[in-house]
A and B are shown apart, each in its own frame.
Chain A
Amino acid sequence: MSRETLLNAGLALLLLVLPLAATALGEPFYVSLATRMAILALAGVGLNLALGFGGLISFGHAAFFGIGGYAAGILAGHALNAEPLLSWPFEFSGSDQMHVVWLVAALASALAALLIGAISLRTSGVYFIMITLAFAQMFYYFAISWPAYGGEDGLSIAIRNGFPGLNTALPMDFFLICYVLLMLALVLSWRIRDSRFGAALQAARQNDVRVAALGIEPFRTRLAAFILSGMITGVAGALYADLNRFVSPSMISWQMSGELIVLIILGGAGRLFGPVVGAMLFVLLEFLLGGLTERWQLFLGVILLGVVLFARGGVIGLLVGRARHG
């Protein structure tokens, strides 16, 4: 086993042990902290597909995070009031079941990613960053100006959506759901990285002229990656809304997009567990420093600067060295 594999296994274990220990010690607050880590890590795993493997610096992934969040909020709201969300082409009265919410979140995010990607992926560099940002801002202002679903104030979820066989109101049950989804996404991300598709995607990041000269369309490859990426981040958004039992336009803000990028760069872009380390550190710093000062992001900025200047491969790169590609 490589050092990176050992490190990854250790991190996966740590994230699981943390809330278990907290529960045993009767400190449920730390369970919700670990849940936050798992959810942000999941959102990061999604972004990492596009940003890390594909080199697509999306500054608009909050759009998918927010779409997932609103999927959870809106479906739950309609289910609670028993007023149909759709009456045509079929009757659909919302849902308070997580698996339905995730499906809707993933499909809606896929659709949005198709739209955003089809346009933004025709550009590159700074233009790509700006167009993805612009799209996310459009979604943001749309959410703000949509009074039916809370507008600026957001939308509360009265009762956390359920999951068959579990009591999602229990912190540990909900954590396990998030943890298992994170692990599944990591397995998917790992398989994709080493697959033919992953090879084409990573090659397009390094040299898209070469990839096209081989007969592989960089655009199609990137679009597929962007959609998958948006779907995963969308599901994370649904979980985040269920964690807070609240969704608001701030989930779609550019700060949110920035935080997702930050946690990937912190952990190691393009590394399988980069988003996991990044999310764990991010939430930990927010907790430790946020208690001391409201300006905790200042310290985050200093740490980020250090990583960018001295550890280009993020924390993972610092601990186990550069990535090897076969």
Chain B
Amino acid sequence: MAEPVLDIRRLSKSFGALKATDDVSLDLRAGEIHALIGPNGAGKTTLIQQISGALKPSSGSIRFLGEDVSALDVAERARRGLARTFQISSLTPEFSALRNVMLAVQARQGSSFRFFRDVMTDASLTEPAIAALSRVGLGDRVRTPAAELSHGERRQLEIAIALALRPKAFLLDEPMAGMGPEGSRALTVLLDGLRAEAPILLIEHDMDAVFALADRISVIVYGRIIASGTAAEIRADSAVRVAYLGEPG
């Protein structure tokens, strides 16, 4: 079998006495959605932070596209094709939705050291950006500053930015949170098709979306992966039901 796109081996991270990531091994294969679920404070975001390079693990390795990326910084990993979205939207607030996405297009083209041409007249930036915005349903909010978008719209903009990066893998940290039922449904359809473009590591509390989308599910509790398998296997796992799905043993 081909090597996974993303391969995490025996990762650990401590904050003082707290083991936020405890010997986690996990992989992401081409074409799949791998969901990572777990209660609040289980260590999901901390894991994403380490994969994207924002946090340094205490031990363990992270391989991406066959290479060890542990020593690379956030920007370098992003250039290699790792796109993450933030649980709490992280945007450039004064810029319009369009310019937020254009910046991603520009980053993907690897050309931020150009000092003269007006970006707004550059169709190689505006067209892909508008396409990404339309794809997430923000086609009519193109000119609105990010700071003036609603909470749900900001979540959509996060996705549009990730799309515009055309990454080799998506790391999505609770993309549905705060979107409302209609938004969640639309995003579920979008993600369903997206896995063919690049595999998705999906952190999500919305269990309907998770069971509808995930090829595999891993369950993390207190920094440890306690179960990993298909949706059916996870549903049947008694440890998971006790620890997470809130059912008595």
Contact = CB atoms under 8 A, between A and B. Distances in A.
Interface of A: 191-192, 194-200, 202-203, 206-207, 209-218, 221, 224, 323, 325-326
B84 A325 contact: no
Nearest to A322: B94
A209 B90 contact: yes
B65 to A, nearest CB: 15
A207 B91 contact: yes
Interface in B84-112: 84, 86, 90-96, 98-99, 102-104, 106-108, 110-112
B95 A215 contact: no
B99 A325 contact: yes
Interface centre among B75, B76, B117, B145 (most CB of A within 10 A): B75
21 contacts: A195-B115, A196-B125, A198-B115, A199-B95, A199-B102, A199-B119, A203-B103, A207-B92, A213-B52, A213-B74, A213-B75, A214-B104, A214-B165, A215-B107, A215-B108, A215-B165, A217-B73, A217-B75, A224-B113, A325-B94, A326-B95
Contact of B115 (A191, A202, A209, A325): A191
B140 interface: no
B112 A196 contact: yes
B90 A207 contact: yes
B112 A221 contact: yes
A197 B90 contact: no
Contacts of B103: 199-200, 203, 211, 214, 216
Interface of A is mostly: helix
Contacts of B91: 207, 210
A197 B83 CA distance: 21
Contact of A195 (B93, B107, B114, B165): B114
What are the nearest 4 A-B pairs in CB distance?
A: A215-B78, A214-B107, A215-B79, A200-B112
Contacts of A221: 112
Nearest to B161: A214
Nearest to B85: A213
B90 A215 contact: no
Interface centre among B83, B91, B114 (most CB of A within 10 A): B114
B120 interface: yes
B117 to A, nearest CB: 6
Given A199-B102, A215-B75, A215-B108, A206 B95 contact: yes
A293 to B, nearest CB: 40
Contacts of B106: 196, 199-200, 216
Contacts of B143: 326
B145 A213 contact: no
Interface string B66-83: 000000011110110001
Contact of B78 (A194, A197, A200, A212): A212
Nearest to B80: A215
Interface centre among B96, B103, B104 (most CB of A within 10 A): B103
B119 A216 contact: no
A222 to B, nearest CB: 12
Contacts of A199: 95, 99, 102-103, 106, 112, 119
B117 A196 contact: yes
B118 interface: yes
Contacts of A218: 75
Nearest to B112: A200
